């Protein structure tokens, strides 16, 4: 798919997320975090992953971004996705455990996705002698404050899990403020390199940059990889971009209309 077509896809899926968030009539779809990571998911899940590869959304509050990507791939029907955040739905604000093939882990409590991903990557290596599936794990930069993350990082490095690719959505925020002001920058190149990872820093909204970085990880034979993706929370919507309030935004008709207009300008 040429770059312009990919750009149209970025707009299409952002509009779909906004539509679902608006129809949910909720303050908690975490739309800011979804808008910051959607481009990473597009390039990774739609264009990079093989049939046997697995994707773990460790930052489970960005579930809406994963849902619309799986819907685009026809793995979640429109009728089911339309139930997002409604009574008796399986598609809530955090990922469910009811779709194990495409959502291998129900997430929401931060800090556990990398441990699961590292274990899965190790299992694939034990079961396959020559070629083995890859495991992609998307985390947030605030999530890197969790101690379990670093235990998993040590495990992955010790076992030379070069089939593990960590993607960090570095939008600079966590729940109550800017990440740098709470416990500092735990999603830094130096920290991850010190833990034995093959590290790249990329523009998380540039699909071509993410594509190039992912291809480079395939040449890495002895280390787990991490892409530190610089992003902007609420990317594409001027009212909420790079603002703390973007995660708890109630989309009124006026805000929803303006957000859709802003997204169209991304093409």
Sorted by where each starts, the structural domains of the chain and their CATH numbers stand as 3-264 (3.40.50.970)
| Mean pLDDT over the full length of the chain | 94
Residue 175 has pLDDT above 90, yes or no: no
User: For 48-194, where are the E strands, in sequence order?
Assistant: 54-57, 135-140, 164-170, 173-174, 177-178
pLDDT digits (tens, 9 = 90+) for 207-247: 999 999 999 999 888 999 999 999 999 999 999 999 988 88
How far is 37 from 171, CA to CA, in rounded Å?
Answer: 9
Look up the pTM and report it.
Answer: 0.96
């Amino acid at each position: 798919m040429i770059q312009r077509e990919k750009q149209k896809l970025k707009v299409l899926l952002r509009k779909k997320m906004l539509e679902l968030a608006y129809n949910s009539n909720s303050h908690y779809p975490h739309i800011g975090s979804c808008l910051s990571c959607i481009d990473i998911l597009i390039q990774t899940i739609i264009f990079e992953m093989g049939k046997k590869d697995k994707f773990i959304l460790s930052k489970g509050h960005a579930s809406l971004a994963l849902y619309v990507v799986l819907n685009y791939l026809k793995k979640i029907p429109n009728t089911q996705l339309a139930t997002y955040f409604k009574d008796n739905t399986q598609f809530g604000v955090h990922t469910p455990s009811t779709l194990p093939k495409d959502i291998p882990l129900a997430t929401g409590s931060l800090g556990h996705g990398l441990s699961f991903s590292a274990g899965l990557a190790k299992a694939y290596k034990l079961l396959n002698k020559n070629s083995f599936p890859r495991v992609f794990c998307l985390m947030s930069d605030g999530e890197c404050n969790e101690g379990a993350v670093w235990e998993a990082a040590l495990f992955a490095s010790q076992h030379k899990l070069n089939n593990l690719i960590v993607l960090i959505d570095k939008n600079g925020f966590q729940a109550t403020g800017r990440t740098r002001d709470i416990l500092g920058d735990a999603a830094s190149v130096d920290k991850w390199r010190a833990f034995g990872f093959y590290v790249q820093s990329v523009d998380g909204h540039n699909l071509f940059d993410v594509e190039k970085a992912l291809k480079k990880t395939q040449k890495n034979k002895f280390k787990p990889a991490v892409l530190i993706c610089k992003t902007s929370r609420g990317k594409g919507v001027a009212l909420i971009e790079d603002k703390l309030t973007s995660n708890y935004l109630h989309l009124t008709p006026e805000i929803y209309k303006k957000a859709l207009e802003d997204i169209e300008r991304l093409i």
